[in-house]
Chain A
Amino acid sequence: MIKVEGLTRKYGSFTAVDDVSFTCQPGRVTGFLGPNGAGKTTTMRVMVGLTPATKGQVTIGGLRYHDIPNPGRHVGVLLDASAQHGGRTGREVLTIGAMTMGLPDSRVDEMLDLVSLTASEAKRRLRHYSLGMKQRLGIAHALLGDPQVLILDEPANGLDPAGIRWMRGLLKSYADRGGTVLLSSHLLHEVEQIADEMILIGRGKIVAQGDRASLLAGAGPAQTLVTSLDNEVLSTALKEAGHVVESAGQGLCVHAPAVEVGRAALSAQVVLTDLRDGGAGLEDLFLQLTADTQRETPPDLAAPTPGGTIA
């Protein structure tokens, strides 16, 4: 549905987006991941015609954005929730959007309800909105025209845990109904749980893409985290089976798939209390792939997600 072909955007001699190509399918959530300054926002801005491309092109449903009539009815866009007049009330922002798209006023109330902004909050001016409230309003604005395609730049930014979970559900069901979703993030955990497809970008170039499984397949040898009632015995058994074992916190980190660890535990008759994939997970893969494009310290990536109960 969204097709990016050989997209390049240069600023002087600096190449912000470098020959990027990918597609987003309808009925799927596509996550667009990369460290700060990787070129996610620039790519998305080119998609909706706010930034001209230096080379290459983007089509949405076969059309260039510029050729889509009344684009708000087809493509919902949220690039920067703060990019609204601070002197307008939340309701006014939506009203103006609805008016431009030719939608009835009732749509404004529906959207305010959907993103749980109360009537009194909707009457407040945007200047006095919290980050999360702006983000909710931005999501409401993107959904106003009941579009078939959603392009969201860091939509979870500023949302509280409940809000993030709500948004995941929203986007998931939106895709299940056949919608196309492209959302960017630098937080892998945020995207991992809903994205059917992931595109990893670093310093303007795509470094990997695919679904979770195929990305993991390329992530190098599996590692498993295991904790048992008798780690020592288990460790010996694993070493005997020819696996590399390191101690990791309360348990062990084994360079082998979980099934091998389980098998070793069974034969050694050790009770496992915890067994999970702990190896080169997506996050490690992500860090590794974007390593040369990473800033010295990647604080965002190391930090737990606000909704990180389900890691």
Chain B
Amino acid sequence: MTTAPAIHLDVTNTDPVPLSRLLRVEFRKSYDTRAGFWLLFSIGVITLIAEVITLIVAITQDLDNVSLGTFTAVAAVVTSFLLPVLAIMLVTTEWTQRSAMVTFSLESRRSRVVWSKLLVAFVLSLASVVFAIVVGVVCNAIFAAAGGTTEWWNQDVRDGVIGFVISQSLGMLVGFAFAALFLNTAAAIVVYFAFSFIVPTLFEVGTAVFGEHSWFADLRKWIDFNTAQNKLFELSTMSGADWAHLVVSSLIWVGIPLVFGLRRILRAEVK
């Protein structure tokens, strides 16, 4: 065999792919497919429909305990349902559509791709909070203009904004973690919704069976992520114990699946 020149790749002038570029790419991937686009679009539309219904009820029933929080809460509920689905799809479509093969050949440091996706999901969570507040402000203004009595702000900023941001992000993280664990859209979504509906019911049943002051109720505080998370909406009143419950239950429901999921993504054979 002949020894031809240029046996070595000259990589001295090539910079590694910077994280900022991966972030832009992953952000773009969140809306450039039909599924991604419609998901984002439906989050917007469903939120608006829910807000319109709330407005109609509030105006026709002439409700008197309305505030900005009433409307942002509606947007919060809708987005908190769909945001995890968005986070799930960010991860799983790479596997179900097999584009991971290309993604990981262009950036073989797989963890950086995963972190970019996580950051994008986080940015989208923040955006959902901003969206909810903006929609809330507009609806509240409409309600006031329609002659309703409303308050603009009747809660602690920590509850209405910071608690909201943390809660949205945690919800998104659960979806993300399940997605990384299952690498399959349907499985991750099913498990996510089972987690948000069936698990809380089981906790209620357990508490009913064993009693309010049983070992089960004590244990539940540490593993019931939903209850711990709901306290975030009264963040200003959260005690040290509440925070501890939140941290421990998040570690269980987010931390563990995420660690196993990451391990799986980093090691898996990509087909």
B interface: dominant SS: loop
Query: Is B25 at the interface (CB under 8 A from chain A)?
Result: yes
Hey, which chain B residues are within 8 Å of A83, CB to CB?
A: 97-99, 101-102
Candidate in A27, A52, A87, A101 with the most chain B CB atoms within 10 angstroms? A87
A66 lies within 8 A of B14 (CB) = no
Query: Is B17 at the interface (CB under 8 A from chain A)?
Result: yes
A69-B11, A96-B25 known; A84-B99 Cβ under 8 A: yes
A83-B98, A101-B17 known; A148-B9 Cβ under 8 A: yes
B21 lies within 8 A of A84 (CB) = no
Identify B14's interface contact among A28, A69, A149, CB under 8 A. A69
A63-B9, A69-B11 known; A52-B267 Cβ under 8 A: yes
A25 lies within 8 A of B2 (CB) = yes
A60-B9, A87-B35, A88-B32 known; A70-B4 Cβ under 8 A: no
| Size bracket of the A interface | 35 or more
Bound-state Cα–Cα, A88 to B29, Å: 9
A96 lies within 8 A of B32 (CB) = yes
Bound-state Cα–Cα, A96 to B26, Å: 9
Query: Is B240 at the interface (CB under 8 A from chain A)?
Result: no
Bound-state Cα–Cα, A149 to B6, Å: 11
Query: Is A282 at the interface (CB under 8 A from chain B)?
Result: no
A26-B4, A70-B15, A99-B21 known; A49-B9 Cβ under 8 A: no
Query: Is B108 at the interface (CB under 8 A from chain A)?
Result: yes
CB contacts between A and B, total, < 8 Å: 125
A1-B7, A26-B7, A88-B32 known; A49-B108 Cβ under 8 A: yes
The B22-63 residues at the A interface (CB cut-off 8 A) are 22, 24-25, 28-29, 32-36
Identify B106's interface contact among A52, A84, A101, A125, CB under 8 A. A101
Hey, which chain B residues are within 8 Å of A148, CB to CB?
A: 6, 9
Encoded as 1 (CB less than 8 Å from any A CB) or 0, chain B from 83 to 96 comes to 00000000001000
A23 lies within 8 A of B1 (CB) = yes
Bound-state Cα–Cα, A231 to B22, Å: 70
B101 lies within 8 A of A50 (CB) = yes
Which of A72-80, A165-173, A262-270 lies on the face that meets chain B?
Answer: A72-80
A50 lies within 8 A of B105 (CB) = yes
Min CB–CB distance A58 → chain B (angstroms): 13
Can you name 23 A-B residue pairings with CB atoms under 8 Å?
A: A25-B1, A26-B5, A27-B4, A48-B108, A61-B7, A63-B11, A68-B14, A68-B108, A69-B14, A69-B16, A70-B16, A80-B101, A82-B98, A83-B99, A84-B102, A87-B36, A87-B97, A96-B25, A99-B21, A101-B17, A102-B21, A141-B102, A178-B5
**B interface residues with partner A (beta carbon < 8 Å):** 1-2, 4-11, 14-17, 21-22, 24-25, 28-29, 32-36, 93, 97-99, 101-102, 104-109, 267, 269-271
